[in-house]
């Protein structure tokens, strides 16, 4: 069977599985719709959280990015895992004890203010939409490369599946579907990694393999070979970066804090039965995420060596274009790889200086990797199914945040407090359906700046939610004036900095012009610091939080009597 | 609140904070310390095929993160029992 038949088969089977689960786990009440009735065991919740969190970006783009930038790629690895430590230690157990459905709920109640709630709702919706658009694009890319349908059909197909299980099943359907999606995506990620690790180093564990010696009997360490190749070809040494230390520091911090402040991740910890389960659930989530995140850098270095060797040839003289391997020709059709024979020798050559003749898109590394390593067709199809699973699971989680924010935070708690449980559920489903329609539109007509927008989402989450939640739990006296002033300052500063460098004056986006040498990706960290400072100043100028709020905060700190996630 | 006395409640929160700070110091050291600020110095040390600083940035810190959360889970469980504020089994 060819690659295309295998892809149809595997993607089709996985879709059938997701829909079957959705029918089995239909939601009947708002509580089931929003937080799966608060009854999901920690291991399953951890797996669902992992699938929710690992998007098409983690699955498709991350290893490729690391492959091209080496050490600098560590910011994503540390940033997107370290945030879970903050989440598990500083947020999850207390928010679970609080026992409401959403992050704006917490902000609104803790700071006894509709204004604070509204600011939080707007942030949550904005962050979620920027994210969904990127996911839909991921689905489109996978479909167009492997099924050879056009991107529009691919996006619509993906939307139908998400619509079916998110609107019908709510959080309950999504949670169990995500467990299945995690299994699909991690299997799809590990199989080619293990194959390639064995081929290159003889070690079946990729995490160890990329620190081992090459299997060709030369006794040279893989990393030494990679560093050698890199410097020879005019790149930076793979194990050292080009970004300044302060920038790496700030970006990593912004990603960590942003992770801990993302509403679709936080809401996951409302779905477990007990406070102790919320702690444990974050632990499991990180275990499942770490499996992929420790494999990614291994894939990155294998792919780098493989790619350089197949293009430049074992002698490093370049391979004649007529003899180019199939994957180069396949990907040339998508326009993601290009060759220009600058020195007219008919050979391809890849380098970091003027000798370079190749243009290679970073995003193809994970998808092309099995082809580069000449793995069987079913492995390549499996990677396609995994990429779709990663994109769908994240989209579903985000759509739920959007629908909850609208039906619960905006309508029920703000505009129309008298609607019944049934009506609220109906509004939630309508909101989810509208959300899907908007996401599909964005997926088909993507704003040209999806990657920039993702940096935006993290910066905003880091500079707005994180300080407000931390202070809400750990500082009883913090009042609404402090929280609102802090959130607004953090968001405004961060948004202004990013908008200036990314949209208004992109030409100035160089280290010389950055404030303190911090790039727009890392500016959320500064925004967060400003948020804290302004909150404290505002607190000094106004009255501290009233006594009943202090008692509420006190009660968050002790696990006993968490009860169910409450209905209102 | 279900503590026997107010002092118990305060002592529980203090112990909780102490554990939190200890774990966060380790969290900071392995990632921002070993993986970013000290990476060049540590890269002079070789561990099999890895330079140590690079290894911490792309592998080691992640393993430590996982361990940290599970240590927290176990320690907090013990703390809840000590002060008798663990949640009832359902």
Contact (CB<8Å) B85/A210: no
A534 pLDDT higher than 90:
yes
Q: How far is B31 from chain A (nearest CA, A)?
A: 7
Task: Please report residues of B whose CB lies closer than 8 A to that of A240.
Answer: 39-40, 43, 54
Residue A206 to residue A369: CA distance in whole angstroms: 14
| pLDDT class of A568 with cuts at 50, 70, 90 | very low
pLDDT of residue A526: 92
- Residue A448 or residue A433, greater confidence: A433
Tens of pLDDT, residue by residue over A263-283, are 778 877 877 778 888 888 888
Tens of pLDDT, residue by residue over A188-202, are 899 989 988 988 888
Q: Number of helices (H) and strands (E), helices first, in chain A? A: 23, 4
HSE at residue A136, side-chain half, CA atoms within 13 A, is 33
A144 pLDDT higher than 60:
yes
Could you tell me whether strands B50-51 and B46-47 are parallel, antiparallel, or unpaired per DSSP bridges?
A: antiparallel
- Residue A56 or residue A101, greater confidence: A56
The four Cα atoms A304, A308, A310, A314 give a dihedral, to 10 degrees, of: -120
Mean pLDDT of chain B: 86
Q: How far is A252 from chain B (nearest CA, A)?
A: 8
CB of A550 within 8 Å of a chain B CB? The answer is no
Q: How far is A41 from chain B (nearest CA, A)?
A: 13
HSE at residue A29, side-chain half, CA atoms within 13 A, is 10
Task: Please report residues of B whose CB lies closer than 8 A to that of A283.
Answer: 66, 69-70, 72-73
Contact (CB<8Å) A85/B27: yes
Question: Among B18, B17, B14, B12, which Cα is nearest to B81's?
Answer: B12
pLDDT average, residue stretch A44-67: 83
pLDDT average, residue stretch A426-430: 81
| pLDDT class of B90 with cuts at 50, 70, 90 | very low
CB of A91 within 8 Å of a chain B CB? The answer is no
Interface of A with B in 268-297 (CB under 8 A): 273-276, 279-280, 282-283, 286-287, 290, 293-294, 297
Interface pTM, i.e. ipTM: 0.90
DSSP-assigned beta bridge partners for residue B51: B46
B1 pLDDT higher than 50:
no
B89 pLDDT higher than 60:
no
CB of B69 within 8 Å of a chain A CB? The answer is yes
Record the pTM.
0.87
- Residue B47 or residue A246, greater confidence: A246
pLDDT of residue A161: 76
A566 pLDDT higher than 50:
no
Burial of B72 (0-12, 13-18, 19+ CB in 10 A): buried
Cα angle, residue A124 at apex, residues A118 and A128 outer, rounded to 5°: 150
Contact (CB<8Å) B51/A222: no
Tens of pLDDT, residue by residue over A371-425, are 877 888 888 888 888 888 888 888 888 887 788 777 777 777 777 777 777 777 7
Terminal alpha carbon distance of chain A? 55
């Amino acid at each position: 069977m060819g690659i295309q038949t295998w892809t149809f088969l595997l993607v089709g089977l996985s879709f059938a599985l997701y829909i079957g689960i959705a029918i089995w786990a239909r939601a009947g009440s708002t509580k089931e719709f929003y937080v799966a009735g608060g009854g999901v065991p920690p291991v399953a919740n951890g797996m669902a959280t992992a699938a929710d969190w690992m998007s098409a970006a983690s699955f498709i783009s991350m290893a490729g990015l690391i492959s091209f930038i080496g050490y600098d790629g560590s910011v994503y690895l540390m940033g997107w895992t370290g945030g879970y430590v903050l989440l598990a230690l500083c947020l999850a157990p207390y928010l679970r004890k609080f026992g409401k459905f959403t992050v704006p709920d917490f902000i609104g109640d803790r700071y006894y203010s509709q204004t604070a709630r509204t600011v939080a709702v707007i942030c949550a919706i904005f962050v979620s939409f920027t994210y969904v658009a990127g996911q839909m694009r991921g689905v489109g890319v996978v479909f167009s490369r492997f099924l050879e349908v056009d991107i529009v059909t691919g996006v619509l197909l993906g939307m139908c599946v998400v619509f079916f299980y998110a609107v019908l099943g709510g959080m309950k359907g999504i949670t169990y579907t995500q467990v299945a999606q995690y299994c699909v995506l991690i299997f799809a990620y590990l199989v080619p990694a293990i194959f390639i690790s064995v081929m290159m180093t003889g070690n079946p564990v990729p995490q160890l393999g990329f620190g081992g010696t090459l299997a060709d009997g030369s006794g040279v360490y893989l990393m030494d070979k990679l560093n050698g190749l890199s410097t020879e070809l005019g790149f930076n040494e793979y194990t050292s970066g080009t970004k300044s230390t302060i920038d790496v520091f700030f970006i990593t911090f912004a990603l960590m804090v942003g992770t801990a402040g993302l509403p679709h991740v936080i809401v996951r910890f409302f779905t477990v039965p007990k406070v102790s389960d919320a702690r444990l659930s974050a632990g499991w989530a990180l275990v499942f995420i770490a499996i992929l995140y420790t494999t990614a850098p291994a894939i990155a270095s294998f792919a780098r060596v493989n790619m350089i060797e197949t293009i430049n040839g074992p002698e490093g003289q370049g391979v004649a274009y007529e003899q180019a391997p199939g994957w180069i020709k396949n990907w040339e059709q998508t326009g993601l790889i290009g060759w220009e024979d600058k020195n007219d020798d008919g050979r391809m050559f890849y380098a970091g200086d003027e000798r370079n003749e190749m243009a290679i898109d970073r995003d193809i590394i994970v998808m092309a990797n099995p082809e580069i390593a000449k793995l069987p067709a079913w492995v390549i199809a499996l990677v396609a199914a995994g990429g779709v699973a990663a994109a769908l699971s994240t989209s579903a989680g985000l759509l739920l945040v959007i629908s909850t924010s609208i039906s619960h935070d905006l309508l029920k708690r703000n505009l129309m407090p008298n609607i019944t449980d049934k009506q609220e559920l109906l509004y939630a489903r309508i909101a989810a359906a509208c959300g899907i329609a908007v996401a599909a539109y964005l997926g088909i007509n993507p704003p040209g700046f999806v990657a920039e927008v993702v940096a935006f989402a993290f910066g905003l989450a880091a500079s707005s939610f994180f300080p407000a939640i931390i202070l809400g739990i750990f500082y009883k006296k913090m009042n609404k004036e402090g929280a609102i002033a802090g959130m607004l300052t953090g968001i405004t500063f961060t948004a202004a900095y990013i908008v200036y460098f990314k949209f208004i004056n992109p030409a100035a986006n160089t280290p010389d012009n950055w404030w303190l040498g911090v790039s727009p990706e890392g500016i959320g960290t500064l925004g967060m610091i400003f948020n804290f400072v302004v909150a404290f100043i505002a607190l000094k100028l106004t009255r501290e939080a009233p006594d009943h709020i202090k008692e509420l905060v006190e009660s968050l700190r002790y696990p006993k009597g968490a009860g169910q996630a409450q209905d209102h | 609140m279900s503590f026997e006395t107010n002092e118990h409640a305060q002592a529980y929160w203090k112990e909780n904070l102490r554990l939190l700070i200890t774990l966060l110091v380790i969290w900071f050291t392995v990632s921002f310390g070993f993986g970013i600020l000290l990476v060049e110095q540590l890269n002079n040390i070789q561990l099999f095929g890895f330079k140590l600083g690079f290894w911490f940035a792309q592998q080691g810190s992640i393993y430590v993160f996982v361990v940290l959360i599970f240590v927290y889970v176990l320690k907090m469980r013990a703390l809840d029992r000590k002060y008798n504020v663990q949640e009832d089994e359902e």
